[in-house]
Amino acid sequence: MKTRLLITVALSGSLLGAAPNIAAKEGHASKEDAQATVKKGVAFIKSNGRDKGYAEISNKQGQFIDRDLYLVVYGLDGTVRAHGANEKMIGKNLIELTDVDGKPFVKERVELAQSKGTFWQDYKFTNPVSKKIEPKQMYCEKLDDSVVCGGIYK
């Protein structure tokens, strides 16, 4: 599973070290955008229920997609419940997934959700807009037995 995902990431992005396009930075969401979108997602799930909430978060034309910002929801066991950029991840347990530097970011995210509830997390991931692996900062809030996150690319 890990090898297949790394191959997918490698094929969908380009190698690290490519200089970021300064003009593209204007198309990036801000930390404030990420926080507001996560809070909006949490409120949507609370008011509309999990099924409708997860479906809307996973809708690529939905209200929780903004430039390179999208939401993801993980169960506290590491299983993806909703994913705004890649619906193929829904239902998969990614607790052992690591980024290109070997950081077990899903495991860390679940642990931070359990210990802190609300937090920022740094790791590297493929930007759905640029298709490049970039440093990412994820804002997350625990919601019952899940964690709702939205991130920005730096």
The Cα–Cα gap between 28 and 17 comes to: 19
Could you tell me if residue 35 is inside a domain?
A: yes
pLDDT attached to residue 7: 34
pLDDT at 124 over 60: yes
pLDDT at 11 over 60: no
pLDDT attached to residue 154: 86
CATH number at residue 64: 3.30.450.20
The Cα–Cα gap between 4 and 26 comes to: 32
Could you tell me if residue 130 is inside a domain?
A: yes
Could you tell me if residue 13 is inside a domain?
A: no
Could you tell me if residue 80 is inside a domain?
A: yes
The Cβ of residue 136 has, within 10 Å, a number of other Cβ atoms equal to 19
Q: Are strands 71-75 and 133-143 parallel, antiparallel or unpaired?
A: unpaired
pLDDT attached to residue 25: 46
Higher pLDDT, residue 110 or 5: 110
Residues 72 and 140 sit within 8 Å (Cβ to Cβ): no
Could you tell me if residue 41 is inside a domain?
A: yes
pLDDT band, residue 37 (cuts 50/70/90): very high
Please provide the average confidence, as pLDDT, over all residues in the chain.
86
Number of domains in the chain: 1
pLDDT at 119 over 60: yes
The Cβ of residue 121 has, within 10 Å, a number of other Cβ atoms equal to 19
Residue with tokens 């997918």: 8
pLDDT attached to residue 8: 36
Max CA pair span of the chain: 43
Could you tell me if residue 19 is inside a domain?
A: no
pLDDT attached to residue 59: 97
pLDDT attached to residue 26: 62
pLDDT attached to residue 34: 97
Domain that holds residue 29: 2-6+24-153
Could you tell me if residue 40 is inside a domain?
A: yes
What mean pLDDT do residues 126-145 have?
A: 93
Could you tell me if residue 52 is inside a domain?
A: yes
What mean pLDDT do residues 49-76 have?
A: 96
